[in-house]
Amino acid sequence: MSEVILKAENISKQYRLGVVGTGTISHDLNRFWHKIRRKEDPYTKVGAVNDRSSQAKEEYVWALRDINFEVKKGEVLGIIGKNGAGKSTLLKILSRVTGPTMGSIKTKGRIASLLEVGTGFHPELTGRENIYLNGAILGMTKAEVNAKIDEIIEFSGCTMYVDTPVKRYSSGMRVRLAFAVAAHLEPEILVIDEVLAVGDAEFQKKAIGKMQDISQGEGRTVLFVSHNMAAVKSLCTRAIVLENGTTVFEGSTDQAVNFYLNLDNAEGSTSLRYFDQEYFEKQSFKIDYVGIKAETKNYKEPITREDRLVLETSINKETNEEIVVVFRFKDGDGNFIFVNNSNMGNVDMSFTGTKKTQMLLPDFFFNEGNFSIDLMITNGRKALFLEPDAIQFTIIQEEKSLGQWMGKSPGVLKPKFTWNAED
């Protein structure tokens, strides 16, 4: 059985909102006395809400609350969650950048961390000088750096610019150099935040491969934070999901990614919309719902590029007046992609009663990303009803189809075509 190399016990981190300082010396002393006895802050108000989406009503907020997990030697742990979930705060605590308000971290061996672009780099120093500086910050001796500097420079791909001041580097070059130093430090634990998203496709491939070598070939531990679910599924052996500073799931990577993608579905799917019938008091028709899902899944399951999609509505009509159902597809920035309607599908909408319409979309059509759909009803001449952004959906890409590319391809559509090569 692999030994536990890192253990987090009841990690909590509290911040005071709006002001710096605690008020009085007596408050500071009282807080210190409670802290050394591992008690909660006596000045925290009961019932304080830890919700970043609402206006703060209390003086303090818990960025993390009662985080517990273990990581074994050679394991790659993914830490995922929405912005503001507490991921970066947790990594800073694990890296000893900041301390927890409560709880403790137990580790075996050195920890190297890459938390922000250019951490430890001085803009006026050259890349070579910053390798020594960054190595010292990460715990390397000069002899260790001398033994590995050629390998670090080659891996970073910055050979031509290594004697140029870092202030002239792009953010991608700084990340490549910082990762090369951290990865070749040979720590027992390597902590990586979202910074690899800055790198290009070639460097992403090298970085992912290096982290796999670190964990599998060298038996070292990696903690990896990313919003790129394909990279998480490809690299990590296990994952935890954070939400509002607490652990809401811990388990296999596939299960954790699915749980994360379905967080928005806890109170109802955004890809399924039921309408208040008061919307249609002055109309001769009523729309019950509109929704989009994978053909073989339900509305709360993630949609991948490999899925055929079904976009359906349920409409009740009091008269046989002809209507047209119009869908306007938009990307995550609100730009129109294309429009389709029931006339183009040769669907007869001059019925009375209730009917369910379905529009089928092929697999391998959308690129991965966020999309929304406007719903419009017309009589062929003018709009009778319009609901902008009636539903939203997200397309993800299975890691098996990524090949060597760990990022998102450009464009909103990514159709699959048949290729042939002939003599």
pLDDT band at 396 (very low <50, low <70, confident <90, very high): confident
Token readout for 320 is: 């046989």
pLDDT at 339: 96
Cα separation, 405 vs 68, in Å, equals 33
- Of the segments 3-7, 275-279, 311-315, 392-396, which one has the largest average pLDDT value? 311-315
Segment 274-291, tens digit of pLDDT: 998 887 888 899 999 999
pLDDT at 190: 83
Assigned CATH for 4-11+65-263: 3.40.50.300
Cα separation, 41 vs 20, in Å, equals 16
Segment 336-358, tens digit of pLDDT: 999 999 999 999 898 999 999 99
Helix locations, 95-192, DSSP H: 127-137, 142-156, 171-184
Which is nearest to 260 in space by CA: 272, 245, 242, 244? 242
Which is nearest to 179 in space by CA: 161, 165, 196? 196
Give the residues across from 343 on adjacent strands: none
The pTM of the full predicted model, rounded to 2 decimals, is: 0.58
**Reduced to 3 DSSP states, what percent helix, strand and coil does the chain have, rounded to the nearest 5?**
25, 35, 40
Segment 152-175, tens digit of pLDDT: 898 888 889 999 998 898 877 888
Residue 53 pLDDT > 70, yes or no? no
Amino acid at 55: Q
pLDDT band at 269 (very low <50, low <70, confident <90, very high): low
Residue 266 pLDDT > 60, yes or no? no
Segment 105-160, tens digit of pLDDT: 988 877 877 776 556 678 899 989 988 887 777 677 888 889 989 988 988 888 89
Lowest mean pLDDT among 201-205, 306-310, 331-335, 387-391: 201-205
77 touches 137 (CB < 8 A): no
- What does pLDDT average to over the chain? 82
Numbered ranges of CATH 3.40.50.300 in the chain = 4-11+65-263
Lowest mean pLDDT among 81-90, 251-260, 363-372: 251-260
Numbered ranges of CATH 2.70.50.60 in the chain = 268-401
Under DSSP, the state recorded for 96 is T
Phi-psi region of 96 (alpha: psi -120 to 50; beta: other; left: phi over 0): left
The kind and range of the H/E element at 354 are strand 353-361
- Domain 268-401 in CATH: superfamily? abc- transporter (atp binding component) like domain (2.70.50.60)
Residue 401 pLDDT > 60, yes or no? no
Segment 224-250, tens digit of pLDDT: 888 777 778 878 889 999 988 999 888
pLDDT at 353: 92
